[in-house]
Structure 1
């Protein structure tokens, strides 16, 4: 019963944090390019996690390090750039909605590759949630006909990588401390991120004199501290105390938070999207309600 309550608390916290991440990405892009944002997000997060979690790395078995590397690139490095690139063309709320494909990919990949079984109720819940997501996407495309939805491919690619990552954590890193997983991920990806940043124009006088750069740095720092560093640790713990499907279902609740931020920032929203959000919540409940 204790774990049952705690995992819902973790899910709620992550929904707020990650649901707010999309608007932070949007605001950061006002003063940064997509590659600069992805690199800075990775570097700042890496510094924080390694500062607090370096001592935990000594407890990681040698056999786990290859999985930490794969987890780092799939769960953190590439998505940090892909979401930034996507939001140069599509709304932050739309990106969050597309991110709801993660649970569906988690079930498919967990069964096909990692041999992790899912119950019929989990599958039904994911399908219902996916229908709600599809309604949100279709309605969003009607409200925003001028957006380039080809860039949605970057989000979809990220959802596949997230699905692989959550299954890797559950299958191969179950006995590794959550902070050690997060810090270990960034051991491998912080240097590549620094290299990417060096090949952008971030250090030029033109970029450093950009009027929106100071606030962009504030937004990317908040995004790194809360939306990445803290959220990674909480998410890794959630995967370990629940199931891959339950942990990935945070992406079903996130769009509602992102939509609220989007509306406050002037993005379009309709009552049909609100009904679709309720359908998503129903899917989350069904996929995780225990048998009586």
Structure 2
């Protein structure tokens, strides 16, 4: 009994540390995207990072190819499409169409869709703690986002609907990995999913864009480095870590990383000369309380 309790506590601590790690690398990825988006169109941005992530994880896919259950291939493809490729395209498209407050608020609906989809289609039990945690964390996230420079939430923007589509995709993928693929190692899930969608991305880039020409131009060498960081770390390594957190905690807890991303953005703003006020601290505290309740057994 004590060993089981000790293991559970270790998993909780590990989950929190990895969730913070994901929030940091995903939160800082917006800086890289801003530097790339002026030269590369949305399709190139979305497909490019997924293609690079697929290449980065290919060695693990090759290593484990004989262990792969062929019956799981369709599920892995769906995971790749809903967890990586389609959202990558969507966020590439809406990147310059939505203000940061609206995008951040809509992105924070991801845990809600994880909870609803899990309850409706994956027989997951929805607890009062999860519902309260979602409401509290979302309130904190909203407070933190609206304490920034832009206070406008223009929900009439048609691109807002696309972000909702992306968060629904994330909600579906989190349950697929946490439930349907729970018996497969995270590195295997990530590598095969990203190889499948990375192959699709390669053909999209090759036949419908100038990506490979532009990325090899001497004046774009710095942008190539940014793409490598986005692909290898923010899409590849992060996918493995996220899938691991999904398996040792819960889909709802893992998806709550979307609440931590505004905290990272706020702290990063300090180094860019921005000021943190009392509302920022209050929002951060409320978010952490909400995530704690989400993970409460």
CA distance in 1, matches of 2:197, 2:287: 33
Match of 1:81 in 2: 89
**2:234 aligned with 1:227:** yes
- With over 3 angstroms needed to count, the CA separation of the structure-2 counterparts of 1:80 and 1:265, relative to structure 1, is farther
By how many angstroms is 1:20 displaced? 1.4
TM-score (ref. length: structure 1): 0.87
TM-score (ref. length: structure 2): 0.86
Comparing 267-276 with 87-96, greater Cα deviation is found at 267-276
By how many angstroms is 1:92 displaced? 5.3
By how many angstroms is 1:63 displaced? 1.6
* Correspondences of 1:153-164 after superposition (within 5 Å): 153-164=161-172
Detail structure 1 runs of 4+ shifted over 6 Å in the superposition.
145-148, 266-270
Match of 1:30 in 2: 38
CA deviations over 1:21-40 (Å, ceiling 9, x no partner): 22222222132111111111
CA distance in 2, matches of 1:161, 1:241: 21
**2:134 aligned with 1:117:** no
- With over 3 angstroms needed to count, the CA separation of the structure-2 counterparts of 1:10 and 1:203, relative to structure 1, is closer
Q: Please, which runs of 5 or more residues in structure 2 have no aligned partner? A: 1-8
- With over 3 angstroms needed to count, the CA separation of the structure-2 counterparts of 1:97 and 1:264, relative to structure 1, is farther
Match of 2:4 in 1: none
* Correspondences of 1:279-290 after superposition (within 5 Å): 279-290=286-297
By how many angstroms is 1:90 displaced? 3.1
**2:263 aligned with 1:247:** no
Comparing 222-231 with 190-199, greater Cα deviation is found at 190-199
**What SS does the aligned partner of 1:116 have?**
coil
Comparing 234-243 with 196-205, greater Cα deviation is found at 196-205
**CA-based RMSD:** 2.8
**What SS does the aligned partner of 2:252 have?**
helix
CA distance in 2, matches of 1:57, 1:96: 38
Comparing 267-276 with 99-108, greater Cα deviation is found at 267-276
Match of 1:215 in 2: 222
Q: Please, which runs of 5 or more residues in structure 1 have no aligned partner? A: none
Of residues 237, 243, 250, the one that matches 2:244 is: 237
* Correspondences of 1:1-292 after superposition (within 5 Å): 1-91=9-99, 95-136=103-144, 142-143=150-151, 149-198=157-206, 199-203=208-212, 211=219, 213-261=220-268, 264=271, 271-290=278-297
CA distance in 2, matches of 1:171, 1:123: 20
8 Å CA contact retained: 1:28, 1:215: no
CA deviations over 1:108-158 (Å, ceiling 9, x no partner): 111012111122111110111122233345556854689994333332221
- With over 3 angstroms needed to count, the CA separation of the structure-2 counterparts of 1:160 and 1:43, relative to structure 1, is same
